Amino acid sequence: MKGIALKTWFLFLAVGILASGLTGCATLKGGPPGAILQVTPDKIILTPDLLKNPVVFSGSGFGPNEIVVIELILPKGVKVKGVPEGENGALGNGTSDAKGNIEIKMGAMSTLNTLFQVGWTPLIKPDFKQASPLPPGTYKVAATGMLSDRVGKAQLTILPPPEKK
Amino acid sequence: MKRKRVVLLVVALVLAFSAWPGQVRAEEKTAAFLDLTDLTGAIAGLAGTASKICEATIDYFNKQGGIDGVKVQYIGVDTRYDVARALSAYKRYRQTPHLLLANTISTGLGKAIYPLIERDRIINYTPGDGEFQARLSRTFIYSTPYQDGFAAALDWMKEDWQKTGHTGAPVVGFLSWDNPYGREPFRGGKEYAEKIGVNLLEAELFPVGSLKHDVWLNRLAAKGANYIYVGGVDPTQTNVIRDAHALGLTKKIQFVTDYWGPDRSVGVKAHPDALENAVVVSCFSRGTDTLNHPMMVEIWKQYMKTPVSEMLGASSIGFSWAMHYIEGLRIAMKDVGYEKLDGEAMYQAFMKLKGHDVTKGATGLCDYSPTSRRMSRYVKFYRVKSAEVVPITDWRVAPDAVSLHKF
């Protein structure tokens, strides 16, 4: 009797856990196929040259002619101005071609706001005196098709500045 | 053992019920306003101020019980004027329950997000691009289109020219940012100038962030401009007119700015002498009009913690955003009720706003309808006088310059 009663309680527990798991578990519903993402170059030093020669995000496997947004996944403890904890930094956006391929240059505003975290003067000029650049490290990057929800992932490494001789 | 069974039962029940939130817990009724704004970035002075007033206005109504019991959930995102950041935020917040509207504070952002607005069947605000009137969609212009405002200014200039004893029509120069916003007034405005016989000079466009404007000003003066229309976001217009004053040009050229021109608490405060007699065309109340608007004053006092005398001109923009949303929500609730409240209901509601005095005088009568995405057809003119911005006309209907251009 005792064994049956115990099994009954465990059954209740299992049903409860399964119910909450099923409603929240996206993988069980099946997600869209992954896309492919490459970052070139994938190792950078933070210098203003990035504005003239921006990082390029290329890839395939997105939906045709859709908006694709490139995000920087911020590790815990790394802050970007204007981005609450738990949200992603922005690196760029563009539109895929008819075959679902992308080639997107890192936007100037993203370079300034996410990588350098500049301030802005009232005359809409970036103020590097107020900048607090992202710390060196390897960051995850995700490109998401906004209509297909397909995601391509890669990494971007920010190298420490070279030592001054 | 018995206690252990009770604990296990409670845990199981909690987990099970947490999977069905809507059916068991009593939910507060909410509708969401996603504000993809700029709080610390390039145009924070204008957009950030407007957003603070928008949020304050929403909270003001929420504290009074909301709209038919529905509280508005204001979600403010600091995009820092970056389209990618706005898209990232939209991706995150698009599934907020009862998300009805996304505000986008730049034309570029509004255009980038549009396919998503269509997919999600909500509506969005965009600043002033006439294309959204020419091609009707789920995007609602939150101002009178830029070219309509410019056309109204051309009418004013012609009237002023003749009132000051001149015959015929004046020569008008145009000076603004070299970007899509800066070029927008000419898409319809140029055609309107031809229509009314004003000699509109070729536009002089300067890079955003320019510190001095002498080169462009001198070119327009050399071409005989009697009036110069200035675009940008304050303090840009203030700095242009400051430079013109230093060159002695304000003695012989009347400067007229667009909606985002000298703000009483920004440019006018910094350069009152240089700006004396400058004229501003606006589809939002400015200067002393905002200081005399009872609800805006009440909201400013409650939320801004600074004297009302410091009220920024951009306040009426944010007030308008909130009030149009609230009025739309009121209509949507009446039409479909809370259970069926969605972006489509808000879209249909917005198209019923024509003729409503939504902002109680902070803007002209609303023009949103099945054939119009203009917030209003009305503009008003103001003049800088003794360090204040004072009205010199009543609300007047701006010409339909959008329809003159082939988009």
Rounded to a whole number of angstroms, the distance from the CA of A165 to the nearest CA of chain B is 35
Predicted confidence at residue B351, as pLDDT, reads 97
Per CB-CB distance under 8 Å, the chain B contacts of A90 are 82, 84-85, 87-88
Please answer whether residues A147 and A66 qualify as being in contact, where contact means their C-beta atoms are separated by less than 8 angstroms. yes
pLDDT, tens digit, 9 for 90 and up, residues B7-24: 666 665 655 555 444 444
- Residue A69 lies inside a defined structural domain of this protein: yes
Average pLDDT of the segment spanning B213-240 = 96
Query: Which one has a higher pLDDT value, A19 or B339?
Result: B339
The pTM (predicted TM-score) of the whole model is 0.88
pLDDT, tens digit, 9 for 90 and up, residues A7-44: 666 666 666 565 555 554 444 456 778 999 999 999 99
Query: How many CB atoms lie under 10 A from the CB of residue A105?
Result: 17
One domain, residues A80 and A25: no
Question: pLDDT band for position B54 (50/70/90)?
Answer: very high
- Confirm or reject contact between A147 and chain B (CB < 8 A): yes
One domain, residues A99 and A152: yes
**Rounded CA gap, B174 and B276, in Å?**
20
One domain, residues A87 and A124: yes
Q: Does the distance separating the beta carbons of A123 and B115 come in below 8 Å?
A: no
- Confirm or reject contact between A70 and chain B (CB < 8 A): yes
- Confirm or reject contact between B82 and chain A (CB < 8 A): yes
Question: pLDDT band for position A164 (50/70/90)?
Answer: confident
One domain, residues A57 and A124: yes
Per CB-CB distance under 8 Å, the chain A contacts of B87 are 67, 69, 90, 93, 146
Predicted confidence at residue A39, as pLDDT, reads 98
Predicted confidence at residue B258, as pLDDT, reads 97
Predicted confidence at residue B317, as pLDDT, reads 96
Q: Does the distance separating the beta carbons of B41 and A120 come in below 8 Å?
A: yes
**Rounded CA gap, B403 and B92, in Å?**
37
| DSSP notation for B327-385 | HHHHHHHHHH-STT-SHHHHHHHHTT-TT--TTTTSB--B--BTTB--SBSEEEEEEEE
Rounded to a whole number of angstroms, the distance from the CA of A163 to the nearest CA of chain B is 31
Q: Does the distance separating the beta carbons of A83 and B84 come in below 8 Å?
A: no
The closest CB to that of B82, out of A5, A24, A110, belongs to A110
Predicted confidence at residue B24, as pLDDT, reads 41
Predicted confidence at residue A146, as pLDDT, reads 95
One domain, residues A21 and A83: no
- Cβ pairs A/B, distance under 8 A: 130
Percent of chain B clearing pLDDT 90 (strictly above): 84
- Residue A164 lies inside a defined structural domain of this protein: no
Q: Does the distance separating the beta carbons of B45 and A122 come in below 8 Å?
A: yes
CA–chain centroid gap for B361, Å, is 15
Rounded to a whole number of angstroms, the distance from the CA of A118 to the nearest CA of chain B is 9
Q: Does the distance separating the beta carbons of A144 and B84 come in below 8 Å?
A: no
Query: Which one has a higher pLDDT value, B113 or B107?
Result: B113
One domain, residues A17 and A71: no
**Rounded CA gap, B250 and B243, in Å?**
9
Rounded to a whole number of angstroms, the distance from the CA of B42 to the nearest CA of chain A is 5
Residue A113 φ/ψ, nearest 5 degrees = -85, -35
119-148 in B: which are within 8 Å (CB) of A?
119
Query: Which one has a higher pLDDT value, B398 or A22?
Result: B398
Q: Closest chain B residue to A22 measured between Cα atoms?
A: B19
- Confirm or reject contact between A26 and chain B (CB < 8 A): no
Please answer whether residues B273 and B249 qualify as being in contact, where contact means their C-beta atoms are separated by less than 8 angstroms. no
Residue A58 burial by Cβ neighbours in a 10 Å radius (0-12, 13-18, 19+): middle
Q: Does the distance separating the beta carbons of B19 and A19 come in below 8 Å?
A: yes
One domain, residues A59 and A70: yes
Chain A interface disruption, residue of B88, B94, B96, B212, most A CBs within 10 A: B88
- Residue A165 lies inside a defined structural domain of this protein: no
One domain, residues A25 and A72: no
Beta bridge partners of A151: A144
Residue A112 token pair: 């300034």
Predicted confidence at residue B364, as pLDDT, reads 97
Domain that holds residue A61: 31-158
**Rounded CA gap, B240 and B182, in Å?**
14
Closest CA to B330 of B312, B350, B313, B311: B350
One domain, residues A40 and A2: no
- Residue A63 lies inside a defined structural domain of this protein: yes
Per CB-CB distance under 8 Å, the chain A contacts of B39 are 82
Chain B interface disruption, residue of A12, A96, A149, most B CBs within 10 A: A12
Predicted confidence at residue A124, as pLDDT, reads 81
- Residue A163 lies inside a defined structural domain of this protein: no
Rounded to a whole number of angstroms, the distance from the CA of A162 to the nearest CA of chain B is 29
Rounded to a whole number of angstroms, the distance from the CA of B226 to the nearest CA of chain A is 27
pLDDT, tens digit, 9 for 90 and up, residues B292-322: 999 999 999 999 989 998 898 889 999 999 9
- Residue A57 lies inside a defined structural domain of this protein: yes
One domain, residues A97 and A153: yes
Rounded to a whole number of angstroms, the distance from the CA of A12 to the nearest CA of chain B is 6
238-277 in B: which are within 8 Å (CB) of A?
239, 266
Please give the domain boundaries of chain B with CATH numbers for all domains. 30-144+292-376 (3.40.50.2300), 146-282+379-404 (3.40.50.2300)
One domain, residues A107 and A150: yes
Percent of chain B clearing pLDDT 70 (strictly above): 94
Confidence check on the interface: ipTM exceeds 0.85, yes or no: no
- Residue A89 lies inside a defined structural domain of this protein: yes
Residue B179 φ/ψ, nearest 5 degrees = -155, 175
Per CB-CB distance under 8 Å, the chain A contacts of B24 are none
306-345 in B: which are within 8 Å (CB) of A?
none
Per CB-CB distance under 8 Å, the chain A contacts of B235 are 122-123
- List, in order, residues 6 or more apart from A7 with CB less than 8 Å away: none
pLDDT, tens digit, 9 for 90 and up, residues B181-206: 999 999 999 999 999 999 999 999 99
CATH code: domain of residue A142: 2.60.40.10
pLDDT, tens digit, 9 for 90 and up, residues A80-123: 999 999 899 999 999 999 999 999 999 999 999 999 999 998 87
154-193 in B: which are within 8 Å (CB) of A?
none
- Residue A127 lies inside a defined structural domain of this protein: yes
Residue B96 token pair: 């907020």
Q: Closest chain B residue to A82 measured between Cα atoms?
A: B78
pLDDT, tens digit, 9 for 90 and up, residues A34-70: 999 999 999 999 999 999 999 999 999 999 999 999 9
Per CB-CB distance under 8 Å, the chain A contacts of B9 are 9, 12
Q: Closest chain B residue to A24 measured between Cα atoms?
A: B19
Is the pLDDT at A154 greater than 80? The verdict is: yes
The count of structural domains within chain A is: 2
One domain, residues A85 and A16: no
